[in-house]
Amino acid sequence: MKELLKNAVGKGQKALSEYDSARVIASAGVAVTKYMLAKTRDQAVSFAREMGFPVVLKGCSDKVTHKTEMGMVKLKLKSDQEVAAAYDELTGKGVILDGVLVQEWIEGDKREFVIGLTRDPQFGPCVMFGLGGIFTEVLKDVSFRVAPLTELDAAEMIEEIRTRKMLDEFRGSPAVERAALVKALIGIGNLGLEYDEIREIDINPMVINGDKPVAVDALVILNSK
């Protein structure tokens, strides 16, 4: 990871692509959805078949940090034809891409959470956990801790959000595996301590697949020179 981050900063990148962001957070123990980077239309179709339909396609580049606003996300594609058409549309927008991310579609159970990392000028790397998806900015239901985190710190963060009952059994869905969230929060804090190149991390949303929290979108912002 050090070389990946160092090279990105050296090239003047402000952020990592989603492909590289996913690699970084996965290295810290965060469960991420299956993903592959396609360089051609045929490769995108092949990856989708290998992964199993439906899939998600996303334009992938360190310059594409607001994918939805740029029309760079195609959801729930169910056939070779839909994947091929989406690939052509994403690559035809005139944006220079590293490739197109082919990603497993996870339906989830509507519960979405967010994990983040920021750098406070006084305290250094701080980890955030809260309600995710479209409610993140509206409800601001989040908790923070200064890294490094112990298991107790992470467990306390999870219990501090107002909507914590959504982590219990919810409308027929099982309780969320809190141990996986604890592992992810500790891992994100450690990334901030280990790599000065990382300025921020945003994992939103983290959907719940069965009882497992899985990151379906991630962004790493760099301390560029």
pLDDT tens across 23-66, in order?
Answer: 999 999 999 999 999 999 999 999 999 999 999 999 999 998 88
Task: Give me the helices (H) in the chain, please.
Answer: 2-10, 18-27, 41-51, 80-91, 136-139, 151-160, 178-194
Rounded CA-CA distance 165/168 in Å is 5
DSSP structure class, residue 73: E
Question: In sequence order, what DSSP letters do the residues of 161-207 get, joined into one string?
Answer: STTGGGGSSBTTBPPP-HHHHHHHHHHHHHHHHH-TTEEEEEEEEEE
pLDDT for position 108 = 82
pLDDT digit string, tens, across residues 107-125 = 888 899 999 999 999 999 9
pLDDT at position 225 is: 65
Six-digit token string for 28: 């810290």
pLDDT digits (tens, 9 = 90+) for 163-182: 999 999 988 889 999 999 99
The pTM assigned to this predicted structure is: 0.93
